[in-house]
Amino acid sequence: MEISEVRVKLIENKNDRLKAFCSVTLDNDFVIRDIKIIEGGGGYFVAMPSRKRSDHCAKCGGKNHLRAKYCNNCGSHLPGDRDQRGITDRTKLHADIAHPINPVCRDKLQSHIVDAFHREIELSQQPGYRPVALSDDCTDLI
């Protein structure tokens, strides 16, 4: 797997732990969007794109995220024990959409992304800096 391109969009709020969003192009063929760069206690780390986990209302079948107390569709009260606990006995509220399946791949992605993040920070200090566009349209990558 070759990482062809990393685009980083810095976040304006300097006090937030979320520092940037990025997209990664693999082998000039595949794009992963909405990767987050987060500042943690041990430095920067990469959070892969994820979605909120959900289930369905027993009364109407409407879809609701796991922390919802009332159905978005019919308004009925939802039971509080709908979540499934993970290995750590904590509720898994999000599910990864895309993620590396081994530590070597994760380390490779993370190092490329964090390096690109640092380069973008340096560029942002330059006069006339224009932020990178993270477009939803894939034609700019072709």
Mean pLDDT by runs of 10 across the 142 residues of the chain is 93 88 95 94 92 88 87 89 60 82 94 95 90 61 41
Report the pLDDT value the prediction gives residue 67, as an integer from 0 to 100: 82
Q: d(Cα 8, Cα 116) in Å, to the nearest integer?
A: 7
Report the pLDDT value the prediction gives residue 108, as an integer from 0 to 100: 94
In this structure, the chain runs to a length of 142
Report the pLDDT value the prediction gives residue 7, as an integer from 0 to 100: 95
Report the pLDDT value the prediction gives residue 141, as an integer from 0 to 100: 43
* Domain 3-49+97-141 class in CATH: alpha beta
∠119-123-126 over CA atoms, to 5°? 155
Query: Please, are residues 60 and 74 in contact by the beta-carbon 8 Å criterion?
Result: yes
pTM of the model: 0.72
pLDDT digits (tens, 9 = 90+) for 52-74: 888 888 899 898 888 888 999 99
Report the pLDDT value the prediction gives residue 79, as an integer from 0 to 100: 85
- The ranges assigned to domains in the chain are 3-49+97-141, 53-94
